[in-house]
Every structure is written in C-alpha cells, then in structure tokens.
Amino acid sequence: MLTVNAYAAPSATEPLVATTIERRDVGAKDVLIEIAYAGICHSDIHTVRGEWGPQQYPLTVGHEIVGVVTEVGADVTLHKVGDRVGVGCMVNSCRECVNCLSGNENYCLKGNTGTYTAVDRDGTITQGGYSTHIVVVEDFVLRIPEAIPFDKVAPLLCAGITTYSPLKHWNAGPGKRVAVVGMGGLGHMAVKIAHALGAEVTVLSQTLSKKDDGLKLGADHYFATSERATFTDLANHFDLIINTVSANININHYLKLLRLNGTLVSVGAPPEPLPIQVFTLFGNRRTFAGSSIGGIRETQEMLDFCAEHGIAPETELIAADQINEAYERVLKSDVRYRFVIDVETMK
C-alpha cells in the first residue's frame, strides 16, 4: 500500500481538508500515476455534499486527472514510465456485458467502477484525483496528446467527453443548429466542440455577461434565458439542445425550442426530477434524452480530436488550499470556465 497526500471532505457539510489516503500496490495490469493536475467538476460538489445520496466519509473526489506514469505492472503493454496520461470518471467495468464489449463501458450493465465513491474489486471505496498519486488498471488510462497544454487538458477527461459523446451521437455538424444551455465547465466545452464539428452554435445562458467569451469560444449566437423573448424568438429552431445546467430548470420551455425531430439531451444532473409535459414532446416529434460521459475508446478519440483542432479547456489554475473557495465560486456560476488544481501544491 502507498500512503499519499490528498484533499478529502470529512462530511457532507464540512470544507475539504488536507489529509492522506491509501492507494493499492501496483498489480500486474496496473499503472501508477503521479498526478500533476486535477479539474473540479460540479459532480464533485454534488457528490461530497451528499446531494445525490449519502456517501462514506472521509471522501476524496476528482475525476479529471492528468499525470505522468511512474511505475507499471509486469503485464502492462499500453503505457510506459514517463508517459503523459489521464483518468476520467471510471477506473474499471465488468468487461463482459454487451455494452462493455461494444466499447460503452460507461453504460456497463453491472455499473462501471467510478473513479470515486464506487466499490472497487478489492472491496475498498475508490478515491478520486484530488491527490498526488493514483493506481489504475491500464485499459482505463488515456493517452494525453502532447499538443494540448498539460496544465489545461484535465477537464477534457469529464467535461470534454461528456459533451463530445452526445454531440457525436446526435450528429452535430454542418447544417445542424445546436444550442448549449449553461456556459460553465461542460457548457464551454460543448461550444468549442460543436463549433469544431461544424454546427451552428447558440449559447443559452442566464444572462449576457459571458457573451463576448461565448462568441470567442466559437458560438455564432448568444441569448439570455432571463429574457422572455428568447423563448419566442427561438421557438421550433434547434436540431439539438445540450442542457448542462446543474440545477432544475423548466425543461418544457427549452423543449419548445426544438424543430421537427429535434432532441434535447440533458447531461446536467440536478438531484430533483425534471417534470415534463408530454404534449410538448408531441409537437415536432421531439425527443428528450440523457447521456453519461463516454466510453474509453470514444474518450481517446475526443482527446485526439481536440489535439487536432487546437481545442483546450479555458482554465483557472488554483492551489490545493483554494479548493473550498473554488467550490463556492462554481456554485455562483463564477467560473471561467474550469478550475484546475495544481497538484504540485499538495506535495
């Protein structure tokens, strides 16, 4: 066992504190990663605060992880010491079910093993990336292209793949009108990726305060959802809407913005149910859908796509002792557009 520095929540209501956690010994198929940077996802906040259900504490979160391989097990073939690598939201899956066999480990029928709060193969609870090292089985470790700055790339491991996967699945591209609701961590990546795929991109944000940024990131249009006219002007307009909002919104108002056969995909994960008026779905034969991260193959494809298109997340680098302050800023939508922890400050 390896004892490593980390930040952990002692309970659902207390701030995160510096501590140590245990990592398992490096097994034959495992890779030991010295973590360099870890992104802060809103899911980390939902989880540590118990909003998605009770948790076991102390709890270390973080599933946007990049670092350097410092040791490999005897049977590892995919990575070697010194490689730049990444780990996202899952660290294993059953590998046998129909979904795993088709590269959709994120939809493993037995449930993928989450990077934190999941029961690992050895019965321990997995602990996430706000720490100096992690041990992960090689198939769930991604290659990080050199072309993307190392201190900015971490958010691709969750925010990047969570938006890339539905944009690809629902064919965002030339001739398609795509709306992104909420321009935070996921939203700003959705804008960049949808633009790179060739779609006409519209941001629907609470206010126009981030309009200049949105247009720079690749949006063609930018509207405030606090303006009633937005919902009449854009009625029956979009082929695809990606909803990244972490809170409950009136989803029926947004469904009405879909044109014939349009789809609204919710990737935002508010704890409460979203009530849907079915008559809104009847109009224009609309679809309401959800999407969860992406498979390992698709995550590698997304990283390579971002490298090819010069896409990197917009980030604010913080020291480990600023995590709690960063959480408060995320909750106020005061994030431009992802906080990344410099893990060197934990060592």
Q: Residue numbers of the site for ligand NAP (CB under 6 A)? A: 41-43, 46, 158-159, 162, 182-187, 205-206, 244-247, 249, 267-269, 291-293, 330, 333, 335
Q: What b/e string do you get for 275-296 counting C-beta neighbours within 10 Å, with b at 16 or more?
A: eeeeebbeebebebeebbbbbb
Stretch that binds Zn ion, among 53-61, 74-82, 99-107, 279-287 (CB under 5 A): 99-107
Q: CB of residue 116 vs Zn ion: minimum separation in angstroms?
A: 10
Please report whether residue 43 would count as binding Zn ion according to CB under 5 A.
yes
Residues 6+ apart with CB under 8 A from 135: 2, 23, 24, 25, 26, 27, 30, 31, 32, 33
Which residue's CB is nearer to Zn ion, number 58 or number 128? 128
Q: CB of residue 16 vs ligand NAP: minimum separation in angstroms?
A: 17
Q: CB of residue 205 vs Zn ion: minimum separation in angstroms?
A: 20
Q: CB of residue 80 vs Zn ion: minimum separation in angstroms?
A: 27
Among Zn ion, ligand NAP, none, the one that 100 touches (CB under a kind-dependent 5 to 8 A) is: Zn ion
Q: CB of residue 293 vs ligand NAP: minimum separation in angstroms?
A: 4
Peptide bond into 273 cis (omega under 30): no
d(CA 88, CA 4): 19
Please report whether residue 340 would count as binding Zn ion according to CB under 5 A.
no
Which residue's CB is nearer to ligand NAP, number 202 or number 244? 244
> What angle is formed at CA 201 by the lines to CA 199 and CA 207, rounded to 5 degrees?
170
Please report whether residue 108 would count as binding Zn ion according to CB under 5 A.
yes
Stretch that binds Zn ion, among 70-78, 157-165, 260-268, 282-290 (CB under 5 A): 157-165
Alpha carbons within 13 angstroms on the beta-carbon side of residue 272 total 9
Please report whether residue 66 would count as binding Zn ion according to CB under 5 A.
no
Among ligand NAP, Zn ion, none, the one that 245 touches (CB under a kind-dependent 5 to 8 A) is: ligand NAP
Task: Tokens 């390896």: give the residue.
Answer: 2
Q: 47 with 26: CB under 8 angstroms?
A: no
Which residue's CB is nearer to ligand NAP, number 6 or number 45? 45
Which residue's CB is nearer to Zn ion, number 135 or number 154? 154
Strand partners for 68? 34, 84
By beta carbon distance, the residue nearest ligand NAP is 184
Please report whether residue 91 would count as binding Zn ion according to CB under 5 A.
no
Among ligand NAP, Zn ion, none, the one that 108 touches (CB under a kind-dependent 5 to 8 A) is: Zn ion
Please report whether residue 100 would count as binding Zn ion according to CB under 5 A.
yes
Among ligand NAP, Zn ion, none, the one that 292 touches (CB under a kind-dependent 5 to 8 A) is: ligand NAP
